[in-house]
Chain A
């Protein structure tokens, strides 16, 4: 694998006048906005020769993860797109020729305005994948253009968890780990997905924090837990109901909160009555004794907080109700919006809550929904559209094909990866049905190859952006190197397009920094002033909101209370209780399928060196796990005559991929785990495009049925 780096650094990389090496500050934006660690870039002669974490940045305090540490290969990779490119051959042929930025932007504005003129602005979808930093500006562009169709990869990320918890509480709060005495970690592996946070988690554990972990895999957290409830994938809801059963039967719930601040408790109590520990054991595979002990520990240790992953619990065909059931435990035990429990702090900017108030929401919603046609997915997923301020991207390929309720003709995408969609070939083929597809990306990806026009974006090292941290810290970054070749920051592209696509939008005309200033106005922050603090600025006079705000404001649910029975779901025709249903494919729901596909397939659990496909192409990270591997328990492997490293075929009813076998006890017998997004072994090919949750349209990535067989060599 060629790293694309064509230079070697000096023998020792010490900064200083003698060596000509200067440290410049920036942030990493390879993974999610909860991390985005501060980076010290060692720059010599305009080239980054080394990176390390910024010590002053309270988020990462000088450290990085393997992905961030590989930044240099990310910036300088040979696959970086160098110029705007226009398709030369057939759609999907991957043949392009360079064009100028002026030509490219003119082509886009001409095509999009023509579509707007012919069939309306809603026929143009504006899509944001990774990273997330350009989202506020892209959504504003979409709406100012007139399209309701701003879609993002949040259609498979954290939005459904927010939706589910929102159905219960209106607004959800995160775990206040530092003040908590007991942490219930539900299908989350912060060690790999939010590395900068685990230092404090380990410190808290060393100070005596109780930890209960729920999830099908052994993770680095498991060694630090009091109990690990190793569930069968897809049964979180049942486990939560079983824990609620214990908590209610033993009278361990918060009577005062339940009585005064909840709706539907009696129906809920009646419903969970049947989830006895032994029934729940039969569904989840977790021993009834362990369920009882964990429920008691969580309910009686005050305060206790619930930490969920952004999406592991909602990547199920029963995901929303699963997640409702488990987040209901917060209110049941009286830990909602309490100190050391789950504290509701609204996000300041880009998903980061820290007590700061900004105008991100109003900025993004430049035109009210009522003034625009329905969004992608609105007819079929009304609850989604009620609770989430964007279209449902997973439904996009269906609308492209059906042209119902109106045709989708063009797509302007930033950092799209079609392999994110279940039945990824279905999405790929759908993209090829569009009149006009523009992809903005760093690298010539599988998706960029399908585009009519490809624009080169640049990395966080080559641009300026505003970044807030939960630790009351903010940084306005400056480019540590100029954008490589002809690449440009996503925001430059958005605002350039905005001059013609949204001529009536004043902020779009004023530009990026003026827009950031507008967003930051309530926080009394200005870009110009923040430039004085290149490593970041510690926010002063910022306080987190108080606890138990519901006592003053109620809950932002239809009833004004926490809803065990959801008014929104009832209105939409769904069961208002957080009812447990088997995954659509499981040994219990589809025993006929399980005859040929007896193993449960769970996909998408994080590996430490990858986030989705983003660092696959870097030899430093890829070298740590070079082959696509399916994790399989030695017992299941033995039954199939499979040995470590064997070539195996992983198949479902829909298809098959070739991978290597990784025999490991981190996975339970009967379950296999496959990391996603490999071009050469795309596990999403094995999942039906409509294998989704009926409320959120989230794909059931984490529980379906499969078989693994040793590949017969030709």
Chain B
């Protein structure tokens, strides 16, 4: 099974509660150290302007490029749910994953090791939502198995984000 986030772009107001809830859950106290990012998108010019927001963390890609380029095998994918996680004790802090990830998801702790969204794996296994999903005041963020998410006809804009990066059909 592959677990994933769903994101309804039309409901996101850019309040960034997801960013902070993630920092709280993960004790990310350092400046600018956050696993989730919200980007504001503006289209058009006055007076025909539209604004929308995109909340992004690690996409736990089906075929994760960070994992392919990791020289130590520190980045791995869990069989049972497809969560991409990192064994920090194996990470050497080479930053290869920073270059491979098109979402800017990998973050680096003070000790140089990579850290990133792990889908609140302990919470999910305990039957809870990831912290970012729980906090979302407009219910723009959701999560579930990719099968169930695609059944829910997630917004087109969110679906393209969830597409695997590479067209190579991996094992």
Contact = CB atoms under 8 A, between A and B. Distances in A.
Interface of A: 1, 3, 5, 8-9, 11-14, 50-53, 60, 62-66, 68-73, 191-192, 195-196, 198-199, 202, 218, 220, 222-224, 230, 608-609, 619-621, 623-624, 633-635, 664-666, 668-669
Nearest to B126: A14
Given A608-B14, A623-B32, A63 B134 contact: yes
A66 B15 contact: yes
Given A223-B51, A668-B46, A8 B27 contact: yes
B24 A65 contact: no
B13 interface: yes
Interface in B20-63: 20-21, 23-25, 27, 29-32, 34, 38, 42, 44-47, 49-53
B29 A3 contact: yes
A3 B46 CA distance: 39
Contacts of A634: 45
B46 A620 contact: no
Contacts of A621: 20
Contact of B135 (A64, A230, A635): A64
Given A65-B15, A198-B13, A218 B49 contact: yes
Nearest 9 CB-CB pairings of A with B: A12-B122, A220-B13, A69-B20, A191-B13, A608-B15, A63-B137, A665-B49, A69-B21, A66-B17
A50 B24 contact: yes
Interface string B125-152: 0101001001111110000000000000
Contacts of B52: 223
Given A66-B20, A222-B51, A621-B20, A669 B131 contact: no
A64 B17 contact: yes
A665 B21 contact: no
A624 B21 contact: no
A584 to B, nearest CB: 26
A198 B25 contact: no
Contact of B139 (A14, A199, A665): A199
B44 to A, nearest CB: 7
B137 A635 contact: no
A623 B34 contact: yes
A8 B49 CA distance: 43
A619 B16 contact: no
Given A9-B27, A63-B17, A223-B10, 8 more contacts: A14-B123, A14-B128, A51-B24, A53-B134, A220-B12, A620-B24, A624-B20, A666-B49
29 contacts: A8-B27, A14-B126, A14-B128, A51-B24, A52-B21, A63-B135, A63-B137, A66-B20, A69-B24, A191-B15, A191-B138, A195-B13, A198-B13, A199-B138, A218-B51, A220-B51, A223-B51, A224-B10, A230-B47, A608-B13, A609-B20, A624-B16, A633-B46, A665-B44, A665-B46, A665-B51, A666-B42, A666-B51, A668-B47
Contacts of B24: 50-51, 69-72, 620
Given A53-B134, A195-B137, A619 B31 contact: yes
B152 to A, nearest CB: 15
Contacts of A60: 137
Nearest to B23: A620
B20 to A, nearest CB: 4
A196 B14 CA distance: 14
Contacts of B42: 664-666
Contacts of B44: 665
Contacts of B87: none
Given A12-B122, A608-B15, A52 B46 contact: no
Contacts of B27: 5, 8-9
Contacts of A50: 24-25
Contacts of B21: 52, 64, 69
A432 to B, nearest CB: 34
A201 to B, nearest CB: 9
A490 B131 CA distance: 32
B143 to A, nearest CB: 14
Contacts of B20: 66, 69-70, 609, 620-621, 624
Contacts of A195: 13, 15, 17, 137
A623 B15 contact: no
A71 B21 CA distance: 10
B117 interface: no
Contacts of B123: 12, 14
Contacts of A51: 24
B29 A66 contact: no
B4 to A, nearest CB: 21
A223 B13 CA distance: 10
B19 interface: yes
B122 A199 contact: no
Nearest to B25: A50
Given A14-B123, A665-B45, A65 B10 contact: no
B140 to A, nearest CB: 9
B31 A1 contact: yes
A230 B23 CA distance: 36
A230 B47 CA distance: 8
A631 to B, nearest CB: 11
A196 B137 contact: yes
A195 B49 CA distance: 23
Contact of A63 (B11, B32, B53, B136): B136
- Chain B CB within 10 Å, residue with most, of A52, A222, A620: A620
B135 A52 contact: yes
Nearest to B43: A665
Contacts of A62: 134
A51 B135 CA distance: 10
Contacts of B138: 191, 198-199, 202
A633 B134 CA distance: 35
A224 B9 CA distance: 12
A216 B30 CA distance: 36
Contacts of A5: 27, 29
A544 B15 CA distance: 32
A58 to B, nearest CB: 14
Contacts of B23: 70, 620
A234 to B, nearest CB: 18
